[in-house]
Amino acid sequence: MLQHMECVEDCRVVEEQGHKGDQTGANKFGKHVYANPYQPSQCTILALAVHIFSFPERFIGGKQQLFIGSDSTDRFGRLLRRVIGSLSEEELRELSCTPEVIGTHSLRKGSSSYALGQVNGPTPVSVYLRMGQSLGRLKDRYIHFGEGADQLCGRMIAGLPFDSDRFGVLPPHFPLLITSQMTVQYWDEVVSGFSNYPRGIQSAFPFLLVSIIFHEDYLRKNLCENHPSQDHFRRIRFSIYSVVHQYFL
């Protein structure tokens, strides 16, 4: 999976290698994934950053999996059930549904329902293409993916406010003069096995790092004390201090 990710301008692009509507992957295209700096609990860039910086090790010639292990789907289902089962009555009331109706199949369906429910939002066709659904033999022949439509879907699904100029917000990012100081040697010291990552995902590391720094207060309040990422906060802060210090000299 990691070899199919890259950073393009203000978003992360993930190239899906086949899906329900394209079993062979003949019509694969990159799907645009955006940060949500206003709602860290919904920010996929922050989630990816926490995951990679918590389990950064990658080995030469190893599988470039996003989630280590062979049963990531089942593991996610078990974790989701555990989280739902731990909710209080008050928290369940806020969900407006019973725990039995929440499952892993609901995530993608929920995002499409949300996007299609917006006034003047993405067209149904662009949402169906985003979800990887077939449009039928005739429509599949004449209706194709367009980057602009998928970018609109990506920002919508990220939870950005559609009725505000904040919908086009940039992700948290470093000034160019700072990122120019982040050499391969620098990243090898910050991320274990950085050189073993695919080139595409390597370009996203400055955005992952700054996302953690930008949302550090949120992470410290919401992650448990023994979470693996807690051990990295001090090292990350020190590494950034060394770069910023050189920048202002």
Strand locations in the chain (E): 5-8, 11-15, 30-33
**How far is 33 from 10, CA to CA, in rounded Å?**
9
- Per the structure, the count of domains in the chain is 1
- pLDDT for 53: 85
pLDDT at position 249 over 80: no
CA torsion through residues 39, 66, 235, 207, sign? negative
Q: What is the mean pLDDT of residues 225-244?
A: 67
**Average pLDDT estimate for 139-162:** 82
Report the C-alpha gap between 102 and 91 in whole angstroms. 14
For the stretch 177-204, pLDDT in tens is 888 888 888 888 888 888 888 888 888 9
CA pair distance 242, 239, nearest whole angstrom: 5
Q: Which residue has 């389990």 as its token pair?
A: 55
pLDDT at 246 over 70: no
Split at pLDDT 50, 70, 90, the class of 155 is: very high
Mean confidence (pLDDT) of the chain: 80
pLDDT at 173 over 70: yes
Greater pLDDT, 247 or 154 = 154
Quick one: pLDDT at residue 196?
Answer: 85
**Structure pTM?**
0.80
What pLDDT, on a 0 to 100 scale, did the predictor assign at position 237?
62
Taking Cα atoms as reference points, which of 104, 111, 107 lies closest to residue 82? 104
- Tell me how far apart the alpha carbons of residues 132 and 180 are, in angstroms, rounded to a whole number: 37
Residue count (the chain):
249
Give dist(CA 19, CA 6) in Å, integer.
19
In Å, how far from its chain's centre is CA 78?
A: 21
pLDDT digits (tens, 9 = 90+) for 7-63: 888 998 988 765 555 555 556 678 899 999 999 999 999 999 988 888 777 766 667
Q: Which domain holds residue 169?
A: 2-245
Q: What tens digit of pLDDT does each residue of 67-114 get?
A: 777 777 788 888 888 888 888 888 888 877 788 888 777 666 788 888
